[in-house]
Structure 1
Amino acid sequence: MTAPTLAYHSVVDVFTADGTWYKPVGLAYAIVVLTGGGGGGGWATSGIAGIEVGGGGGGALRSKPIPASLLPDAVQIVVGAGGVYRQSDGGDSWFGADYRAPGGQCGEDHPLGGMGGVSPLRGGQGGAGSGAWGEAVTALPAQLLCGGGGGAGVGDAWGGQSGMNLRSDGTTTTNAPLLWPGVHQAGHGGAPRSGGAGQQFPQWPAGGGGARQDGAAGSVAIIQVVSNITDIT
């Protein structure tokens, strides 16, 4: 008789809407990766009575390894909504009641741009209403686990990048692809909807909205390491 063999495999669940995560049988540990929603951009009224508005802040990212022994059988998931331009901040994403990734701030009434979600892996600041690009964020040398890029302010400006997700070079609106989106990498910020940069929309997840753009929604991902025993006779 051959002794049983213990092996491990990974299972990844990505939530794009509120729901419930259930702990699988044989779970060893889980890595939870959350991104908050990107803040909505301002109204882009820089030509009216001297009012300037900025882009929305990118949502923050939080990553947390959790042993199976500390996880209940079911956990409620809340996915932060993208902020509406001129109206709202990005929503916070939650894994249960203890783990949270804050959303970015709306750019309305913030001439210097909405603040990115606050976290060690923070979101980028929205661009200033004077026409500044959104802030790019990185976590060198591993450029994947980063918050969302900030949205651009009014004018000919571009949204900020997130890690290796390079923003456009000013001559094209092509979006750079994400590496494992919603799990390891957040999205770039958006350009002003009426600006010379064209229709560069904030990228999911967590990208901040450019002026007159909504922010991108957040995400909750659970990377699960599960054991299984093969009984060989």
Structure 2
Amino acid sequence: MAEVKLLGAWGSPFSRRVEMALKLKGVEYEYIEEDLANKSPLLLKSNPIHKKVPVLLHNGKTIVESLVILEYIDEAWKTDPILPEDPYDKAMARFWAKFLDDMCMPAIWQIMWSKENQREKAIKEAIQHLKTLENELKDKRFFGGEKIGLVDIVANFIGFWLGAIQEASGMELVNKERFPVLCRWIDEYVNCSIVKENLPPRDELIAFLQTRFSASSWKY
């Protein structure tokens, strides 16, 4: 049997997306929780460049960066693919995964960490990116069609973490009036059993975020 280990952190959407992919594929693995304030020698050795989670260890080989890990998992275990077979559809899935990581997620965090006089601009930018994402989803059940695929896995930040951020901060960015299609997807997504199994406890995540926002003197 292949030896698979995952170095992760309980509140990291990047770690959780890798766990989701492994479970969708039915891959047995050992999970190792990392204290990011006191990183283990294994983490520092396995990811000396970025020194962050997630890190996948497969038969002694190291794979880092969550999007790279997700594609590796799809290639290494062929059952229940998370990427489309068609080359064009596969390229589009990769595009939207990058859009989520490079555009949507940074824009949302920018709202939380920006100064009050810059926040309105940050909110407008985040809303525009989310509208683009909603337009891509349209009438599909999931971004991957009728089943969860790469883009849905990467969108776990929108599906779960964003709601916790809103509750912890008092900010309302996504609601059914503004984003009806995205909210429908969120409801469907978080109620999938495989997704539920790979989400951190909501109350603990909210408490963690409240501590961070308090430390940064966040006001909304």
TM-score (normalizing by structure 2) = 0.30
| Higher helix proportion | 2
Higher RCO (C-alpha 8 Å, min separation 6): 1
| Higher strand proportion | 1
TM-score (normalizing by structure 1) = 0.29
